[in-house]
Chain A
């Protein structure tokens, strides 16, 4: 069998697929060091107050219980709040697990029971008695709106909205207006794998921490700072992550508590959260957006006014880029937006897949649909009519925007041209049929990333970077990148990810990993090849064809062999032979990709986004109001697509999640106690298979050498943006009834 190099752009199947489906892939809760203890967290049943007393006799009496760790007996951890800051940079006072007696959210860990078995730990946790002094709290979002504010210090990635023209006046003068309050329920990430940490106490006393995280180096930094450890005392590993959707962006309390317990008892410890406990930390904030739009009768937008609020905790100011998207994406001479956060006594909301945009784009696109109808204009035509070729908010050119092409190609695939304008005009039996569309937009980000490439004596190429594959296909696309960049078959490549000791890579999130880690790997492979050629050239006794080729620059590395361009297949040298010629047993390089490859492309003063056009068909039972999504087409313009197979899976997965946003997912807050009550998979409804139709994902050709070194934009989140709005808009087209609250559930 001859092995061929894979190319970027080929639909290669996941290289880690077999390991995953055969159970070979190790997740955070799977290592089993000798003598490991199981930790079970006890959560506060109150939202605010203080612990008055802890009675642990009954808990300690359970056979197998080793310790009940509370704020009273825990080992020393850092005193200052700033030591608990994590990479996400949420301003405020981060929560310090088991720090003191004060309770500031329902579900807050108050103790960790450590036992020889999971069962004993759980039983003891149930037998722990804690008395609380209750303080008044507010966990009601509506009520918290009265206290909304703009944080003094903003999150580092916050993009303040920028006004243009005079939106209020233009709105007043607009002959056609719509105005409304749009609302999104809070949602929980609920990745399949629950958050878990296994801490292995190594023989030399250092900790190897297997954690479910999107950023092993961020967790390492957090642990060293919060627990006053040095960097070489903590190694964090996450080679496999069973989904995260943003829940693994921050170091969650399980990792802190597991290491704290290991420190206290000098024993290996595992702490896993139950599904119920997955509702005690991060969630997508609840949001309201007050949107007012003004237009001319011909459908020309005159004014956009967007005021939005998302919730945060009382102790941190989580912020989202909620209100900016319409201002960026639409041409409109007058626009203004305002954003605030509303505090409630819960844990801090956090980033969930396409944070800000999943909420802000979808709710805004529902308003745009209303405006199109107010102007009696086809919603697609309306959007084309108000199309902006630039970032209209910053008045800045874009590296690329193939949204128009996405709209046309998506519309054609869907058959949009046959759509009757009037709602309630298509039916089949008792079902009303509706077609809706929306556009999506999301950042195309890039973060400096390092990667190492090593050639070993067996002729294999090893790639290493501290990136995390949270199920997106990072292993696979990096192998493809290395294969093309180095000229070696995928089968001869080993990819190592998810380890804090590897070359620096930012936390996985924001859809930047493909572009950033991809560029770093590309760079490292190119540089390794040059190094190899140089070393081979310097070694004395090589064949004439090679000497010649190297000096003429006609030697290439192809399918794992050094050979002359276009020359006879027999004149070639395998990588292991080449390496042995150099007299070394390995060659290694580490490179860092910056916004321009090797810094050659200067960072342009240009804005960069991914775009999409989503088309949806729903059927709504006329009497019962039951909505079924029957068709979804998503045309995505995301620069260069590294692997259409894994990329389409990303977009489809996000479309499923967005279907949940539109029709199912809602964390039900009981504000009387500050707890989300449907804290299990039986009652927190994510879509079932029956809810999801065949989905059609199209990638629009978009060449964009400026956006990132390899022309990649990333596809992990764009599928969230617009899909929920397309569904809601289709429901309107079917029924003539507008819904401004998501999710739309039976009986609404």
Chain B
């Protein structure tokens, strides 16, 4: 960790007037970790915690707005979330540990960085950390790296669980910055690495995530967050699937599906959703959806297991959603 200046402004306006090399601090569970490892080297740290952005409130359209500073734990436990967006609660609870979720915020979760081993180790070449140095993960120990959306420059996953559910539900991210406010669909918020992997998302300098809007949406019991990982708790996803289905007389009216652990961003394929809509659930239908979701997947040295597992996890998640038996995050049996 290198010396930095610290400030804690109490207006959004002040928080946006920032010099170069600034990082915002929310819960700090990711940023501080990276600073200790010398991966993030901000000259200025601007603490957002004096701003009031931790609301969880209903929207006029029947949707929900969750504040960027609301903690992951509070969000997952909020009655409006557990009643109306259990898929989101489930995805949050599938991640990290209670201690970390108590501290981690929704804005921080959106902006957390990859867990790529090489990104985390300043002795190693990494285009995301040090543009132009190369990608050590290619041909290296890349069991945890992505198989979808990768580029020559970077194959790292975006590791969030919460964002997978948000992507499935087509949430919207509200931003405010020196150039004003804007709203961006979550599916467009994170970027593919292409040849600029250091840009994880579309956030501009001085821009702050203020809240996330969830559309009015109900799947009833027909949803699930199924996460496969190297141990049964407290590990990032090898493959995860967030699925929500609106069912009508055993027909899928609307399908929302996103994947985590496999993509360089929360992975959504609208064609796969379209393919499910208007159909009756069946294993072969789900297999088609899996094929569609995984189109273009490329494996590297160590991560073929992801491609082997992914279709099975998709099929199982869709079966759970169709049957109305969401995966429990405490009971580890997968139904």
Contacts and interface: CB of A to CB of B under 8 A. Distances in A.
A624 interface: yes
Contact of A679 (B121, B144, B229): B121
A461 B283 CA distance: 73
Contact of B309 (A45, A682, A746): A746
Given A668-B141, A669-B141, A670-B141, A123 B2 contact: yes
Nearest to B143: A668
B309 A628 contact: no
A621 interface: yes
A624 B312 contact: yes
Contacts of A690: 231-233, 332
A119 interface: yes
Interface in A616-646: 619, 621, 623-626, 628
Interface string B91-128: 00000000000000000000000010110111110000
Given A626-B334, A746-B309, A747-B306, A668 B3 contact: no
Given A670-B140, A689-B233, A683 B121 contact: no
Question: A interface, by DSSP: helix, strand, loop or mixed?
Answer: loop
B162 interface: no
B319 to A, nearest CB: 10
B313 A664 contact: no
A680 B235 CA distance: 12
Contacts of B136: 670
A687 B332 CA distance: 14
B293 to A, nearest CB: 16
B228 interface: yes
Contacts of B231: 663-664, 685, 687-688, 690-691
B305 interface: yes
A678 interface: yes
Nearest to B232: A690
A291 B125 CA distance: 40
A383 interface: no
Given A276-B37, A677-B141, A623 B232 contact: no
Given A624-B312, A677-B118, A745-B305, A123 B1 contact: yes
Given A123-B1, A680-B120, A685-B231, A746 B141 contact: no
B230 A745 contact: yes
Interface in B135-171: 136, 139-141, 143-144
B6 interface: no
Given A668-B141, A677-B118, A690-B233, A746 B238 contact: yes
A691 B333 contact: no
Nearest to B238: A746
A682 B316 CA distance: 27
Q: Which of A623, A625, A675 has the most CB of B within 10 A?
A: A623
B238 to A, nearest CB: 6
Contacts of B332: 628, 690
A452 interface: no
B115 A682 contact: yes
A126 B2 contact: yes
Contact of A688 (B120, B234, B333): B234
Given A682-B115, A685-B231, A691-B232, A431 B313 contact: no
Interface of B: 1-3, 36-38, 115, 117-118, 120-124, 136, 139-141, 143-144, 228-236, 238, 304-306, 308-309, 312-313, 315-316, 332-335
Q: Give the top 6 A-B pairs by smallest Cβ distance, nearest first.
A: A747-B305, A45-B123, A690-B232, A690-B233, A677-B117, A668-B141
21 contacts: A119-B1, A123-B1, A126-B38, A430-B335, A621-B334, A623-B315, A623-B316, A628-B333, A669-B141, A673-B124, A675-B123, A678-B141, A679-B117, A682-B115, A683-B117, A687-B231, A688-B232, A691-B232, A746-B228, A746-B305, A747-B304
Given A624-B316, A690-B332, 13 more contacts: A122-B36, A126-B1, A126-B122, A619-B333, A621-B334, A623-B312, A625-B309, A664-B230, A669-B141, A677-B117, A685-B230, A685-B231, A746-B309
